[in-house]
Amino acid sequence: MTYKIWIQEYIKHPLALGALFPSSASLGSLMVKHIDADTIGPILELGPGTGSFTKALLRKGINENNLVLVEQSQEFVNLLKGFFPKATIVCGDVRQISQISSELGINQFDEIVSGLPLNAMGAAVRRGICNDSFSILKPRGSFVQVSYIPICSIPKNVIDNYSAEKKYCGVTLTNMPPAFVWRVTKPKRMLNDE
């Protein structure tokens, strides 16, 4: 059922998915490896698709009630609601993430996990999504991003603007296609706040 919905969505919107197959469990584990199981604040997932990274977060010990999943596809939203009934699941456009989080009454997220195909988006859209995401990320929180090419898709100017630290987390060769993971951590405070 999950693969059938994935293939249907891929045929309709290939660039919106970015990969021909759902993410593997090994990629999910790599994406959430840095997240502490005792994280009690909200965690935002951008583009959860069929929930591979969400499942990894739950395996890690994160409380399902702390998860906020923002997905554009109504088909995937319906699937996610069945899999994760305690999570907050929003059918919406991540380009409106500041407005969505405001409507949910959330000022900051402890962590952001992104399955968005940022490299398939235009530079302005990619920059806007990442900038808005960092603006709602708490200090010392991180934005973790998957890419299917060995280039970090979080724009350098956004990383520099937030004085953030970029770290390459590794590659998962068992994923189809192989996937690269980067984590960008927001500093405790901005350099220009000192």
- State how far the Cα of 14 lies from the Cα of 20, in Å rounded to an integer: 8
Tell me how many domains the chain contains: 1
Q: What is the pLDDT of residue 190?
A: 57
Q: Which residue has the higher pLDDT, 167 or 50?
A: 167
pLDDT over 90 for what percent of the chain? 75
Note whether 65 and 41 are within 8 A (CB).
no
Q: Which domain holds residue 53?
A: 2-193
pLDDT of residue 177: 85
Per-residue pLDDT at 10 exceeds 90: no
- Is residue 17 within 8 Å of 61, Cβ to Cβ? no
Query: What is the distance between the alpha carbons of residues 115 and 106, in angstroms, rounded to a whole number?
Result: 21
- Section 146-164 average pLDDT: 94
Across the chain, mean pLDDT equals 88
pTM of the model: 0.87
Whether 65 and 141 have beta carbons less than 8 Å apart is answered as no
Question: What number is the average pLDDT over the span 142-151?
Answer: 94
What's the CATH code of the domain at 169? 3.40.50.150
What is the residue type of 134?
F
Greater pLDDT, 68 or 175: 68
Tokens read off for 184: 């960008």
Please tell me the predicted confidence (pLDDT) of residue 67: 98
Q: Which residue has the higher pLDDT, 187 or 18?
A: 187
pLDDT digits (tens, 9 = 90+) for 103-139: 999 999 999 999 999 988 899 999 999 999 999 999 9
Share of the chain above pLDDT 70, in %: 86
Residue 4: is its pLDDT beyond 90?
no
